[in-house]
Structure 1
Amino acid sequence: MTATALASTLLTAPSAHAADSDISFSNVVINNGKPIVLGTGTQIEVPLTYTVRTKVKLDSWWISVYRGTLDGNEKVLANGWIQWSCRQSTAGGYTYYDCDESLQVDPDMLAGSKKLVNTDATTWKSVATAIKIGGGYDVDLLSYTTRLKRASVIESADASPEPVTKGKPITVKGTLKRANWNTHRYDLYGGQKVTLQFKAAGTTAFTNVRTITTTSTGALRTTVTAAKDGTWRWYYAGNSVTGAKATTGDYVDVR
C-alpha cells in the first residue's frame, strides 16, 4: 500500500497529446457510483476502481477527478490517493490491471492549494494519465462523471418527554444545517422538506410519519401522539447539490 501526493501539474492538457491506442482505461467507478458528499474540515477517502489495458510497459498511471478545462487552471478534487491493489492479467497481447484505490479528498484543501467553493457542488469530469517506461505518456479524457454535493447535518434532534404516558404528546425537534465551502462552516438551512420517521421496538425498519418544512432558521418541530415504545428520527433526502442525512434516532419509552 502506498500513498502518493497528487498535484494539478500531473494533468497534461489532452489537446497537446493524442490518446495512445495501445493504452486505454475502462470500468471506471468512483464512490461506488454514488455522489461524493463533503462537509468541512475532515478529509475523506473515496473508493475508485478501474481497469487499465496496455500493450506497452507502464511506469505509473492514475485517474483524476477535475472541474474546468485542462489548461493548468483546472480544479483537481483529490490531494492524494492510496493504491490498494492492481491485479495483473494478460489476454490477446494486452496486459490488464484491475485497480482498487482511494482518492484522498480534503474539502478545505485540494491539489495545488485550491479550495472548494459552493458552486463546485455540481458534476465533475475524469481524465486518465499513463506514464510509459523509457519516456512518453498517454492522456485519455474519460466519459465517466461524478456528482459532488455539500453535506447536511441535523443537530439537536430530540424526542421528549422521556418516558411518556400513552396517549400523551411527544414533541420532536431538530435543526438542519448544510456545509458552506466558502466559509468552511455549517449554515442553517431553511425551506427544506424533512421527514419524521418511527421504528417500533422489536422491529428493524423505519416508517414515514409526516414531512414538514424547516423554518428560515432551519428549525424542525412537530408533535405526535405516544402509542408504543420506539425510536424517532429525522430524515432529509437532500437535493441536487446537498447530500441526504438521517439522525441516529431517539428512543422513547411509552408507559
Structure 2
Amino acid sequence: MRIRATVAAVSGALALSAFAVPAAQADDAASRADIAKIREAAQAASGKSALSTRAPEEGQPYALNVSFSNFKIAKAIKVGTTNPVSTKATFTMTHGADVDVTAGDFHVDPFLYKGAFDSPDNMLFGNKYAKCTPTSSTTANCAGTIDFYPAQSELLNSDAGSWKAGAMAIAFNGQSPDGETFDITKVGYKDQGGLASTLVQRYSKLTVNASPEPVAKGKTITVTGKLSRANWEDNKYHGYTNQPVKLQFRKKGSDTYSTVKTINTNATGELKTTVTASVDGYFRYSFAGTTTTPAVNATGDFVDVR
C-alpha cells in the first residue's frame, strides 16, 4: 500500500493529514487508514511533551515501549519515471517485556522521510508491514521494504537528494478503529526518526555516438551524446544541463577506459566534441553523478580506424 503524505507538524511524532491509497494495493492486516487515525490522534501531542515521554490522555494513544536501532538501507535508490522500485530495510526493535510483538494486530513499519522529522515534506512506506523475528524476550530483528511508484505522483523533482529513515510500531491490543467501543487510549504507538540516511535519485541515462565509422587515421572524429534524467512530475526524461561529463577511450583489446577530456552538457543536456582518429577503439561518455542524480556510463561506441 502506498502513502503519499502531506504531513502536519507534530512535536515528537509523525502524523499524516492526507492519504492517497490505491485500492488495488490494500493490506490484509490493519489498513493504512486505521494507522492514519492513530497518527492523526498523535497530533494532539503538538505543543506538549513528546509522545514518547507523555502518559496517554483522552483521545490519544499511549506511548508504546519500543525503540529501533541498527537500521540498514541502500546508500542510494535510483527511481525512474514509470517502473516501481523497492528497496530493503532491516533494523532491530527493542521492546518492553509487556509488549507482545507476535500479536496479529501489532504492526511495524520502516519509512523514509524528506526534510525534518517533525514536519517532513514527504514520507514513503512499503507495500506491506515489516516482518519481525524475536531474538529474545525484548528484542526482534525486523525486515521490510520501502516502495516507490513514480508513475503515481508520489515524488516531486525537489524530493531528489537526501532522505532519512525511521520506523514505527503500533499495538492495537484488540481494539478495532471501526468498532463502536474503540478506545484509542488502549492503543500503543511509537515512531522514531534519524535511524539512517539514503539518497533518492532521479534515474539517469547517457548516450554516445562517434562518427564517421570507419575513419581514416589522422582524420577528425565527432563524438555526440546526451545526458538525461527522470522527471518525476511529467514522467519523462529531460536533458541534465550544464553538467561535466568525461569523454573516455578504450583501445581495442583493452579493458580500461582513459579520460580524453571533460566537457559540459548544453542547455538541453547534449554533448558534442571532436578528437583525432589514431587507433581502433571505443568511445564513451562518463558522468560522475550528483546527490540528486546517479553516476552513469554510456555503452562504448566502436570506431574502426583505417
TM-score range, shorter chain: 0.7 to 0.9
Report the counterpart of residue 103 of structure 1 in structure 2: 146
Return the alpha-carbon distance in structure 2 between the equivalents of residues 190 and 72 of structure 1. Answer: 32
Question: Contact conserved, 2:265 with 2:271, CA < 8 A, in 1?
Answer: yes
Report the counterpart of residue 178 of structure 1 in structure 2: 229
- Pairing 1:136–2:188 present: yes
Report the counterpart of residue 48 of structure 1 in structure 2: 89
Matches within 5 A, 1:1-255: 5-7=1-3, 8=5, 10=35, 12=39, 13=42, 15=45, 17-18=51-52, 22-31=65-74, 33=75, 35-54=76-95, 55=97, 56-58=99-101, 59-67=106-114, 75-78=122-125, 80-81=127-128, 88-90=134-136, 93-99=137-143, 101-109=144-152, 115-132=154-171, 134=173, 135-155=187-207, 157-255=208-306
Helix, strand or coil at the partner of 2:135: strand
Question: Contact conserved, 1:128 with 1:142, CA < 8 A, in 2?
Answer: no
**Percentage of pairs with the same residue:** 36
Amino acid at match of 1:151: Y
Gap change, CA 1:48 and 1:230, over 3 Å in 2: farther
Gap change, CA 1:72 and 1:154, over 3 Å in 2: same
Question: Contact conserved, 2:109 with 2:125, CA < 8 A, in 1?
Answer: no
Gap change, CA 1:226 and 1:65, over 3 Å in 2: same
Gap change, CA 1:87 and 1:162, over 3 Å in 2: farther
Return the TM-score normalized by structure 2.
Answer: 0.67
Which structure has greater strand proportion?
Answer: 1
Aligned length: 240
Deviation of 1:212 (Å): 0.6
Return the alpha-carbon distance in structure 1 between the equivalents of residues 194 and 127 of structure 2. Answer: 20
Amino acid at match of 1:39: G
For structure 2, the 5+ residue unaligned runs are 6-15, 17-34, 54-62, 174-186
Deviation of 1:22 (Å): 4.4
Question: Contact conserved, 2:71 with 2:195, CA < 8 A, in 1?
Answer: no
Return the TM-score normalized by structure 1.
Answer: 0.78
Deviation of 1:44 (Å): 1.4
Question: Contact conserved, 2:229 with 2:237, CA < 8 A, in 1?
Answer: yes
Helix, strand or coil at the partner of 1:29: strand
Question: Contact conserved, 1:82 with 1:103, CA < 8 A, in 2?
Answer: no
Question: Contact conserved, 2:2 with 2:147, CA < 8 A, in 1?
Answer: no
The structure with more radius of gyration: 2
Gap change, CA 1:195 and 1:68, over 3 Å in 2: closer
Question: Contact conserved, 1:159 with 1:232, CA < 8 A, in 2?
Answer: yes
Return the alpha-carbon distance in structure 1 between the equivalents of residues 227 and 163 of structure 2. Answer: 26
Gap change, CA 1:199 and 1:79, over 3 Å in 2: same
Amino acid at match of 2:135: S
Helix, strand or coil at the partner of 1:28: strand
Deviation of 1:69 (Å): 6.2
Return the alpha-carbon distance in structure 2 between the equivalents of residues 42 and 6 of structure 1. Answer: 14
Amino acid at match of 1:218: G
